Chains A and B, each alone.
Chain A
Amino acid sequence: AQSVTQLGSHVSVSEGALVLLRCNYSSSVPPYLFWYVQYPNQGLQLLLKYTTGATLVKGINGFEAEFKKSETSFHLTKPSAHMSDAAEYFCAVSEANYGQNFVFGPGTRLSVLP
């Protein structure tokens, strides 16, 4: 079985400051890992994903995440927060080789202060 935990249900940063959203996963098989963003009353959009290869992955809007197998982590970062980054962020795990299940973490709400 797979599971995802996200430390911090709400994170606040100042505009221009570093964004760090934490994600840890549990999986008995090689995982595929994802970060999604959700704006109010909308569906989810993919930010970035890790499947195989390079463990540092870059996504849209300047976000990136690093897969650390030894720490079972996939933390999301952005060097400089922008007001438009305020949203809900979800980490997700899926089994490699097109596993059918797709498990999301509880989400972290990011607020960006002027």
Chain B
Amino acid sequence: SQTIHQWPATLVQPVGSPLSLECTVEGTSNPNLYWYRQAAGRGLQLLFYSVGIGQISSEVPQNLSASRPQDRQFILSSKKLLLSDSGFYLCAWRTSATNEKLFFGSGTQLSVL
């Protein structure tokens, strides 16, 4: 069966520090991968999605970047965090075989202080 792993679960970082959040999917191949951010009291904002290795689409200009070094690995990064980067980050995947459904990881709560 397919599973999605996202870590860490919580992270507290100072302003100006770098960031690396990792997401991996098991049990499927060639998934579409997504990074969403959920700010406190707000909905889900699509940050990046990827349809294949090295293919990244950015939805919102920001302080963040994404990379997909392997088929089932999706990394969210920043060189210098801002206070406004705080939020709940969710990784998700889907394939044509899942009949359009998105499957979400358990999320990372990032606090930038």
A22 to B97, alpha carbons, bound, how many Å?
29
Residues of A in contact with B (beta carbons under 8 Å apart):
32, 34, 36, 41-46, 49, 51, 90, 92, 94, 98, 100-107
Q: Which segment, of B13-21, B38-46, B68-76, faces chain A?
A: B38-46
Residues of B in contact with A (beta carbons under 8 Å apart):
6, 32, 34, 36, 42-44, 46, 49, 51, 57, 88, 90, 92, 94, 96, 99-102, 104-107, 109
A36 to B99, alpha carbons, bound, how many Å?
15
Q: Which residue of B lies closest to A33 (CB)?
A: B100
- B109 CB contacts on chain A under 8 angstroms: 41
Taking the closest CB of chain B, its distance from the CB of A58, in whole angstroms, is 16
A100 to B44, alpha carbons, bound, how many Å?
16
Interface centre among A43, A90, A92 (most CB of B within 10 A): A43
Looking at the complex, which one of B46, B51, B104 makes contact with A43 (CB distance below 8 Å)? B104
- B101 CB contacts on chain A under 8 angstroms: 34, 46, 49
